Amino acid sequence: MQTIIKPSSELRQNYNSIAEICRKTKTPIFLTLNGAGDTVIMDMDTYNRREADLTIAERLVSAERSRLSGVRGYSVAEFKQNMQEAIAKGAEYGE
């Protein structure tokens, strides 16, 4: 992934072109203020994708921490049985 760095003044002067770069490259643009990093901007699709990825990563880390601390998980067979029971129970209330 290519890093794109622009001065913040360019955002004020050329918002449309900066937004277009974000949409086309699907990469964040780093803005500087007085030569130092200040802000990162990205298009909505990239932001939403990153947020979804972070949510999944957080859930995986949480599950791994639980596993390492000794919390008992379920085998595939146990999970399958639990799901079948839940589906059967749900069917009792369904159509």
Q: Each residue of 50-62: pLDDT tens digit?
A: 999 999 999 999 9
Q: What is the DSSP letter of 37?
A: E
**Are residues 71 and 59 both part of a single domain?**
yes
pLDDT of residue 91: 83
Tell me the per-residue pLDDT of 14-61, one tens digit each, with 9 for 90 and over: 899 999 999 999 999 999 999 899 999 999 999 999 999 999 999 999
Give yes or no: residues 38 and 52 share one domain: no
The reply to whether 36 and 57 lie within a common domain is: no
Contact 28, 11 (CB under 8 A): no
The range of the structural domain enclosing residue 29 comes to 4-42
CB atoms within 10 A of CB 29: 20
For residue 29, the domain's CATH number is 3.40.1620.10
Q: What is the pLDDT of residues 62-87, one digit of tens each?
A: 999 998 999 988 889 999 999 999 99
The whole-model pTM stands at 0.63
In this structure, are 86 and 69 located in the same domain? yes
